[in-house]
């Protein structure tokens, strides 16, 4: 058996043992499902624990006023929620929303200081002074909250 | 471990992806050895139609030329290697790797424009990115 094939099969076997297989070919459009989905008006913003989009990820479709909720944990494997809460732990961001913009805050309830991420800003591989500091975000159309998402 | 870095591809990705630090790998030109029709953990899968349907191809390593990579389908019993090739046929993509970005290239050997697919990311309609039916090769950035 070729080495890379063996490596792949090993990875797949380990994944199966951990119940982290992601075999489906169906769309994953909701937030908090471990997949960072692009859409024009219903896309995700995806928060990564480490810089350069690694270390675990959590995807959101809508606003989140407090990252300390029990559902706000990084996915380490596809479809497998981890145990680390995202509050004050985010170090890089991917924006897969094509219409609305995202506003990020250092405190819950959209408080403290923050920055916005427009729909033309697809990713930040590091957050500078906001590293490990974010605690809430708001999805904004430019005049009202962007609530077209389904969950998350 | 994936295939080694390739400097030219690395430079191109660095120039193309604002705000990202890319280190791009590229495999020798050959049909990808991990292909089996099974989209598993740490692979990227490209689909012939939007919304991850119809035929697909799975890649574990980088691939310099999609023209020798068959698309697969499920016949109800097992995965079957189809006769159609992946080159210029991808309309949606899912990256099942949680730590590496997959980079699709317009031309073989990491040439032309590219589309970054971030770790755990999915693009249901590559037409939204102006990249429908364009992908011809693949590299990874970890």
User: How do residues A105-148 score in pLDDT, each as one tens digit?
Assistant: 999 999 999 999 998 888 999 999 999 999 999 999 888 899 86
CB contact under 8 A, B124 and A57: no
Burial class (CB in 10 A: 0-12, 13-18, 19+), A37: buried
In this complex, do B41 and A38 lie within 8 Å of one another by their Cβ atoms?
no
Tell me: the pLDDT tens digits for A20-60?
333 333 333 478 999 999 998 889 999 999 999 999 999 99
Provide the pLDDT for residue A119. 82
For residue A80, the model assigns a pLDDT of 84
Calculate the dihedral angle through the C-alpha atoms of A78, A84, A87, A93, rounding to the nearest 10 degrees. Answer: -30
Q: How far apart are CA B140 and CA A127, in angstroms?
A: 23
Helix, strand, coil tally for chain A in percent (to 5): 10, 40, 50
Among A5, A12, A125, the residue with its CB nearest the CB of B19 is A125
CA distance B45 to B60: 9
Structure confidence at residue B2 (pLDDT): 66
> pLDDT above 90 covers what percent of chain A?
64
| pLDDT of A13 above 70 | no
The per-residue pLDDT string of chain B (142 residues; one tens digit each, 9 = 90 and over) reads 665 444 444 344 433 443 333 333 333 333 555 688 889 899 999 999 999 999 999 999 999 999 999 999 999 999 999 999 999 999 999 999 999 999 999 999 999 999 999 999 999 999 999 999 999 999 999 9
User: A39, B41: Cβ pair inside 8 Å?
Assistant: no
Q: Write out the two tokens for A91.
A: 């170090």
B59 near B133, Cβ under 8 Å?
A: no
Closest to B19 (Cβ–Cβ): which among A11, A14, A124? A124
Cβ distance A125 to B20 less than 8 Å, yes or no, reads yes
pLDDT at B134: 98
Q: Which residues of B touch A5 (CB under 8 A)?
A: 33-34
Chain B residues at the A interface, defined by Cβ less than 8 Å, are: 1, 17, 19-21, 33-34, 38-43, 45, 47, 51-53, 56, 60-61, 94, 96, 98-99, 101, 116, 118-124, 128-129, 142
**pLDDT score at B3:** 59
A64 and A107 Cβ atoms separated by less than 8 Å: no
- Model confidence band, residue A15 (pLDDT cutoffs 50, 70, 90): very low
B107/chain A closest Cα distance in angstroms: 23
What pLDDT does A41 receive?
82
Amino acid A101: pLDDT: 94
User: Nearest C-alpha of chain B: how many angstroms from A144?
Assistant: 24
Domains and CATH numbers, chain B: 28-141 (2.60.20.10)
Say whether A37 and B122 touch across the interface (CB within 8 A): yes
A17: pLDDT strictly greater than 80: no
Q: What is residue A77's predicted lDDT score, i.e. its pLDDT? A: 83
What are residue B107's DSSP bridge partners?
B111
């Amino acid at each position: 058996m070729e080495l890379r094939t063996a490596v792949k099969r090993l990875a797949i076997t380990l994944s199966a043992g951990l119940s982290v297989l992601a075999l489906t070919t169906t769309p994953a459009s909701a937030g908090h499902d471990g997949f960072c989905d692009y859409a024009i008006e219903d896309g995700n913003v995806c928060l990564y624990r480490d810089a350069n989009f690694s270390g675990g990820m959590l995807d959101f479709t809508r606003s989140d006023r407090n990252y300390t909720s029990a559902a706000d944990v990084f996915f380490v494997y596809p479809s497998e929620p981890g145990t680390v809460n995202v509050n004050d732990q985010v170090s890089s961001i991917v924006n897969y929303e094509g219409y609305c913009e995202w506003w990020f805050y250092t405190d819950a309830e959209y408080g403290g200081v923050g920055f916005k991420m427009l729909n033309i800003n697809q990713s930040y591989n590091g957050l500078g002074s906001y590293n490990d500091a974010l605690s809430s975000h708001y999805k904004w159309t430019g005049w009202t909250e962007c609530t077209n998402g389904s969950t998350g | 471990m994936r295939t080694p870095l390739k400097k030219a591809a690395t430079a191109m990705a660095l120039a193309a992806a604002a705000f990202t630090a890319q280190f791009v790998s590229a495999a020798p030109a050959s049909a990808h050895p991990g292909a089996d029709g099974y989209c598993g953990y740490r692979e990227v899968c490209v689909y012939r139609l939007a919304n991850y349907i119809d035929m697909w191809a799975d890649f574990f390593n980088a691939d310099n030329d999609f023209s020798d990579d068959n698309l697969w389908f499920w016949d109800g019993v097992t995965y079957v290697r189809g006769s159609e090739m992946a080159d210029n046929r991808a309309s949606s993509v899912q990256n099942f790797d949680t730590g590496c970005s997959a980079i699709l290239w317009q031309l073989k050997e990491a040439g032309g424009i590219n589309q970054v697919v971030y770790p755990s990311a999915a693009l249901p309609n590559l037409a939204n990115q102006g990249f429908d039916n364009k992908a011809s090769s693949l590299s990874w950035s970890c």
